[in-house]
Amino acid sequence: MRKLAVWKFASCDGCQLTLLNCEDDLLPLTDQVEIAYFPQATRAVAAGPYDLSLVDGSITTPADAERIRQVRAVSRRLVSIGACATAGGIQALRNFSDIGDFSSAVYARPEYIDTLATSTPVAAHVPVDFELNGCPIDKDQLLTVITAFLRDSKPDIPSHSVCVECKQRGTVCVMVADGIPCMGPVTHAGCGAICPSYGRGCYSCFGPQDTLNTRSLAGRFAFLGMPEPAVARTFRTFYAAAPPFATESSMHSGGGR
């Protein structure tokens, strides 16, 4: 049987939990693939190399920068899962600030804390075979990715925007109908357009999609009355360090380095 490993770096565990949340598919999956390393689920460890490694979390410490290299070395295929692993996650807000300020807001003795000044995606450290977006990732997409890699094929994950998903499920556009600012036009599909179906604008927890125009969306937000610092913050949240969003946010006041 092929071997699957799941590794955790700086994260909330939500993306790897998504695997355990595949309640109906979990046990059938374990009939097809050996869960060789997954500390959230088992203390058993089968020796590497592993056919497929899923990595959740971003790189934030010197030790983790070393550990991700070792993970890559024992993995035939490596897929980073979630905003943390693919873009640095919410903790990448430190990249736009002074890490000393952040650390002293939490710890009386920041000098005891061994941390890097930035939170970076896995791909900034080692080559990755595929990146799956989401904060958290979607469980059906996760299953698609696992099944595809176990068959040695590329997973079929659409790269259009959340807007397309709203059309598919027949949700009326919240920005057009209600003037609610929505990140859908620049956000990678995958969630099924959940927020607009709850009457809320998308806040881009799936990150930037491939062909996007952040400039025109930011203009739209301004037209809808959103103040500059709010525009900056909207682009600087769960995918703050993803290049298209980082660039856009730094163009608005309150969004300086």
Rounded alpha-carbon distances, angstroms, from residue 144 to 33, 79, 128, 180, 238: 14, 12, 17, 33, 24
Q: Is residue 115 within the footprint of another protein (CB under 8 A)?
A: yes
Which span sits near ligand SF4 by CB under 6 A: 44-52, 62-70, 187-195, 245-253?
187-195
Q: 162 touches which of another protein, ligand SF4, none (CB within 5 to 8 A by kind)?
A: ligand SF4
Give the nearer residue to another protein in terms of CB position, either 106 or 176. 106
H helical segments located in 118-242:
139-150, 162-169, 174-178, 194-197, 214-223, 228-235
d(CA 104, CA 120): 21
Q: Is residue 187 within the footprint of ligand SF4 (CB under 6 A)?
A: yes
Give the nearer residue to ligand SF4 in terms of CB position, either 12 or 46. 12
Q: 101 touches which of ligand SF4, another protein, none (CB within 5 to 8 A by kind)?
A: another protein
Q: Is residue 89 within the footprint of ligand SF4 (CB under 6 A)?
A: yes
Q: 124 touches which of ligand SF4, another protein, none (CB within 5 to 8 A by kind)?
A: none
Q: Which of 2, 14, 180, 226 binds ligand SF4 (CB under 6 A)?
A: 14
Which span sits near another protein by CB under 8 A: 40-48, 140-148, 210-218, 243-251?
40-48
Cα end-to-end span (Å), the chain:
49
Q: Are 136 and 57 in contact (CB under 8 A)?
A: no
Closest Cα partner for 54 from 18, 37, 78? Answer: 78
d(CA 96, CA 250): 9
